[in-house]
Amino acid sequence: MCDGPAGYADNWRDCDDARPDGASSVCVDYTTAYGGEMIAIASGTFVMGKGSTYLTHDVTLTRDFWIGRTELTRTEWERSGAIIPYSMCEYGDCPLEGITWYEAAIYCNALSTQEHLTPCYLSDGTDLAAAYIPDPYSCPGYRLPTEAEWEYAARAGEDWTYAGSDIMGDVAWTHENSGDTPRQVCELDSNAWGLCDMSGNVQEWANDWYDSAYGGYGDAAPQVDPPGSGSGSKRVHRGGYYESEEPVPSVYYRSGLPPEFAWTAAGFRLARTVP
């Protein structure tokens, strides 16, 4: 992880040596073999959910993790040898969209293999390999973020409605400002931990099976390292997208789609547990 020089703030997210006051700056911990920028996120406890729709509950993550600074881009996908699906935004740094959950999992496996890490998913991308199903956080390779990791990273220790602001247009490409088309990554403000586009641009697959009442959402019970539901027919989708409207771009909103469904506005963001 990023360490500051002697005499500077003890804050491993603050990697700007010219700012010893502890003010946050983007800390790209490393770059993947295919060019994705990964940011280190420290473990901690946060309040997940909102109100009566998704019951507010405490969630503790005990493992530090890396998460992609951006949604996976078309360039990263192409470097893996995969065929790029059609998109209305065809620049290399546009977010990849129009893929299934399975295809996202297969990409994670390919990147893990490229970097000599143990893959997290079965070879066809259908699920986490058997050893990691009860505890996705223990897998050493690349994977999709758990729903808890995604919301923790989106909130970034703050209490905004969207990932970095209470003003949607500052941080999210939605129907309000996108022209109903995806945009190149990181053109809007990031959140406090340097993560871009978590409230808009394309929606993001999470690792979990979708269950409307799972993991404290139904009973407000505190959770520690929630792995997601053990089975289901849909996988979790998080974040807003370029045609979305309220409340979809908010940090607490959640939905699900069948994992075989290649929705045009569906992309993903990489995650990996810090060993």
Residue boundaries of the structural domains of the chain: 29-273
Query: For the segment 164-198, what is each residue's pLDDT rounded down to a tens digit?
Result: 999 999 999 999 999 999 999 999 999 999 999 99
The predicted model gives 18-36 an average pLDDT of 70
What was the pLDDT predicted at 86?
Answer: 86
pLDDT at 21: 42
Q: Distance (Å, rounded) from C-alpha 163 to C-alpha 177?
A: 16
Region of poorest pLDDT, from 10-24, 55-69, 226-240: 10-24
Average pLDDT over residues 80-108: 94
How far apart are alpha carbons 114 and 132 in whole angstroms? Answer: 20
Domain 29-273 has CATH 1.20.810.10: no
* 167 contacts: CB under 8 Å, gap ≥ 6: none
How would DSSP label each residue in 15-65? --TT-TT------EEEE-TTS-EEEEE--EEEEEEETTTEEEEEEEE-S-E
Instruction: Say which residue the tokens 């139904």 belong to.
Output: 218
Q: Are 71 and 96 in contact (CB under 8 A)?
A: yes
Whole-prediction pTM value? Answer: 0.91
Least confident of 9-18, 72-81, 102-111: 9-18
pLDDT tens track for 107-136: 999 999 999 999 999 999 999 999 999 999
Q: What is the pLDDT of residue 218?
A: 80
Phi, psi of 54 (to 5 degrees): -130, 100
| For residue 91, pLDDT beyond 60 | yes
Higher pLDDT, 28 or 260: 260
pLDDT averaged over every residue in the chain: 90
Residue ranges of alpha helices (H) inside the chain are 74-79, 101-114, 147-155, 168-171
- Give the three-state DSSP class for 103: helix
